[in-house]
Structure 1
Amino acid sequence: MNIEQFKQEVIAYSKEIGIDKIGFTSANTFEELKQRLIRQQELGYQSGFEEPDIEKRVTPVKLLPKASSIISIALAYPSKLKNAPKSTKEERRGIFCRASWGQDYHTVLRDRLGKLENFLKERIPEIQVKSMVDTGELSDRAVAERAGIGWSGKNCAIITPEFGSYVYLGEMITNFPFPPDTPMEDQCGSCTKCLDVCPTGALVQGGQLNASKCIAFLTQTKGFLADEYRTKIGNRIYGCDTCQTVCPVNKGKDFHFHEEMEADPEIAKPKLKPLLTISNKDFKEKFGHISGSWRGKKPLQRNAILALAHFKDTTALPDLILLMKQDPRPVIRGTAAWAIGKIGGEDVEKELLNAFEKETDEEVKLEIEKGLKLIKKN
């Protein structure tokens, strides 16, 4: 078999099944990444969602013993919402990041990788493959960078010349020796826009992220959000796009190639107040198909409370007072108490004091006290 010719056949087939960009690299150990990951671990910059075993993250042969090459794929996703609903004073809305619009991208990319696997197995029945998307051991970005999909931007995203950083990534390790592609030159130059606007300073320097401070990570945590970040969330329900939206390469980039990625505007920009009391059943029905639902409804409800506080939405006070008094979850009761104080208004001090008298959870009591102090600042 002519290896280069087979590679071209794979590229042609990838276009047929809706893969927007494909690249190939060796299955050699990611030595530079290994050093970076060790350093990140030492600095405490990890999110905790990563594969804990660094060796697995950088050594493809640990995942597929006879690994010879890796295929990297990229699918472009939309950056602009069609028919986006407007937030009004009576009905404030939150926002999901673009990577959570449409069907869960893990499902979409696994579908494309599955088709690619079948194509390879039809041509070479004995071929060995192992595919992964996001939650796999390998770093999607490190693979994509080495496979020439794009360069690793200062915002820690892979930036492609064609689609900017609005791409989902996945990869397939194989024992077939595909000829590798050439990595791209870094094209960020002296631009530091993403570093300058990061809301929490999570981008420590170009290409280095303190994940524990990143809003995209913080919106996925389940406990109380640290005070210093509560006013930085804005109306974000899940994720953060700031370092992408300011990137000059992303200007004007908006691709609607895949039906599954098209967003329902009412889901991408949901009304905040209904989120506060949504049942588990309704949450699964409405949001279960998007990637932003993977942590369940509690973090999203907590973020919705913070968003209402951000808007100082007095129309939400009755709902928030009810949550503070009746919700069984301390994080929701406490965050509601903080938000009530942040919004302020008539009689809220009395409500907070009444709640404090009846509250048994010490953390929630602390949040009520914070709420009472915020009223005095209003």
Structure 2
Amino acid sequence: MPATPYSNHGFDLIVVGAGIVGLAHAYTAALRGLKVCVVERDAAAIGASIRNFGFITITGQAPGDTWRRAMHAREVWQQVAPYAGIDIVHRNLWLAAYRPEAHDVLEAFMRTPMGEACELLDAADAQAKAPALSLADACSVLYSPHELRVESRTAIGLLSKWLAEAHGVTFRYGEAVLEVQAPRVRTSRGTLHAERVVVCTNTDLNGLFAERIAAHELTLCRLQMLRVKPEAGFRLPGSVMMDLSLVRYEGYSTLPEAAALRARLQQEEAASLAHGIHLIVVQSADGSLVVGDSHHYADAPEPFAMEEVDQLILRHLRSTLNLETAQITERWTGVYPSSKTTPCVIDAPDDATRVVLVTSGSGASTGFGIAHDVLDAW
């Protein structure tokens, strides 16, 4: 998208970063009648926002604000997708429990408020409804109606285009923001003015407001993902997960019952736990499967993917789905900021500026909810 000429009148809000968190703030502000400009250093959004599953995950999110924000984000995705030309490729979540300890976690989850509208199915019932799953050795399956899936590598561009055309949001790509001193924003191409600025720079922890970001003790998380071509006609019933996710997602992992599952997995799946692997499978419109993922943490993650990790992910894929073939057609890595203490950083360097970073890999799932909270509280 070509850069838009500078306006002489300034803006109500400048958003730094055109990933999903930045776009969520741009949308929320534009919906409230604000004049918005998004400034992105790259020629297009190429970071974590297009390297994920496009999986709007609700069930299993941390209770409280994260789950509430995910529910809000789900509603926004449903509202904007048809207008922006974004396909909701499939819905729902099927989480298979293969160990009695995993079943116990799911039973406990169903007793929480977040279990509302979900169902805990026995393996035979789930198999009849979802033949793509391999459930001969399963104890039970959690079915959730809440989840959505979009194709993230195209959805971000379509959302940006729609925001520009339908809501008058100005986009300036290929332009680095060098300094923010609201109402002045100095970029590599000039100076912009806005009453308020939101900085959503994702993995750039050492640039704008680095000293304030450092106080949150963030690191970076690298993940590995695959695109797999199954046999012709193979269809998933929705997004798919299994036991390993129950010790990663805080909506499950903080339940007392998760301790026994974690102990058993440490004996049986130590390598997967060491690489931070938990299986997620979603399907694209062309029938291919997006499969992942792993989690490795470092201040400067190496860009090199490990075959061992891919093979572990593929083993879990084959044991969870009734696949005849699983041909790898793409491999990639993604990086996002990570915190041990909070799923989201919202920092206020001054009254006119906010720094917003999703630190849990859940930007697509919670970004619109976070933006709603930020603008409400500002």
Q: TM-score when scaled to structure 2?
A: 0.22
Structure in which a larger fraction of residues adopt strand: 2
Q: Which has the higher contact order (CA 8 A, sep 6+)?
A: 2
Q: TM-score when scaled to structure 1?
A: 0.22
